[in-house]
Structure 1
Amino acid sequence: MSPTRLSTVVLDAQDAHELAGFYLRLLGYVVRAEEPDWVLIGPPDGGTGLSFQTEPEYVPPVWPTRRPGEQQMMLHLDIEVDDLDGEVGRAVGLGATLHDHQPQDDVRVLLDPAGHPFCLWRPTQPVG
């Protein structure tokens, strides 16, 4: 067994609890821990979590390219779905925005309410 393991990925936002609420509804996760400026959510049956921390000076990232003086995208979440169009509609209904730039037919790039890019995708061929 490895002496280290990834426990969570942390996303900054103006309001950690608001952004956590979006991902709770999108992913069907549960709250595992919370503090006034931090929330940890994760799958109900265990596994790697997703955390959010309030950063008052948070600036949304820019994607697909960095423009001078704007926050560069550092990471994005890939979320596998069975029904791409249906899940895009559901995500938009929860507060996401469909990005103007869509580079692939089997992937949709969206922005969460804090402006973080994330991708909904469906496999075009069996994975594994």
Structure 2
Amino acid sequence: MCAARLSTVVLDARDAHELARFYTRLLGYEMRAEEPHWVLIGPPDGAAGTALAFETEPEYVPPVWPARNPGDQQMMLHLDVEVDDLEAETARAVAEGATLAGEQPQDDVRVLFDPSGHPFCLWVRAAQ
């Protein structure tokens, strides 16, 4: 048995508080801790899920997705968010401040950018 477990994913942003507010709305998370340059959010009490933290980095440069040219800022990670209704949740994410990516590589996935430019994917489980 492994004693280690993933508890939190941390994303840099020019404004940690703005990005935290976006993800609390998108995921139904709640604020857990706030400092001037750092915010922690997570699922409501008792709910399963990984916490997210955001750290203000004044020199943050959004990644380019898909990166095609030498020197493009590379994506370090992206979040996959499972949804029941892809079209409705895509529309809601955009209404909350996300931007739909111009390139969509799969029919059952929507690539979007959060307000800081991090790519994230909404996806639906394929019918079995």
3-state DSSP of counterpart to 1:105:
coil
* Structure 1 residues 12-66: Cα deviation after superposition (integer angstroms, max 9, x where no partner): 0000000000000000001111111001101012542011000000000011124
Moved over 6 A (4+): none
Partner of 2:82: 80
> Do the aligned residues in 2 keep the contact of 1:66 with 1:72 (CA within 8 Å)?
no
Rounded Cα–Cα distance in structure 2 between residues aligned with 1:61 and 1:89: 23
One-letter identity of the residue aligned with 1:14: R
Q: Distance in 1 between matches of 2:2 and 2:32?
A: 24
- Give the Cα separation in 2 of the matches to 1:116 and 1:51: 14
* Residue 43 (str. 1) matches residue 46 (str. 2): no
The reply on whether 1:89 has 2:91 as its aligned counterpart is: yes
The partner residue of 1:99 within 90, 101, 117 is 101
The residue type equivalent to 1:81 in the other structure is: V
Q: Mind listing any 5+ residue stretches in structure 1 that lack a counterpart? A: none
Counterpart position of 2:22 = 22
The question of whether the paired residues in 1 share the 8 Å contact of 2:67 and 2:73 is answered with no
> Percent of aligned positions with the same letter in both sequences?
73
Residues 1:3 and 2:9 are matched in the alignment? no
TM superposition score normalised by structure 2: 0.93
Q: 2:111 aligns with which of 87, 106, 109?
A: 109
1:71 positional shift? 1.5
Name the counterpart of 1:122. Answer: 124
Aligned residues of 2:101 and 2:113 also touching (Cα < 8 A): yes
Letter in 1 for 2:102: D
1:71 matched to which residue of 2? 73
Given that 1:61 and 1:115 are in contact with CA atoms closer than 8 Å, whether structure 2 keeps it comes out as yes
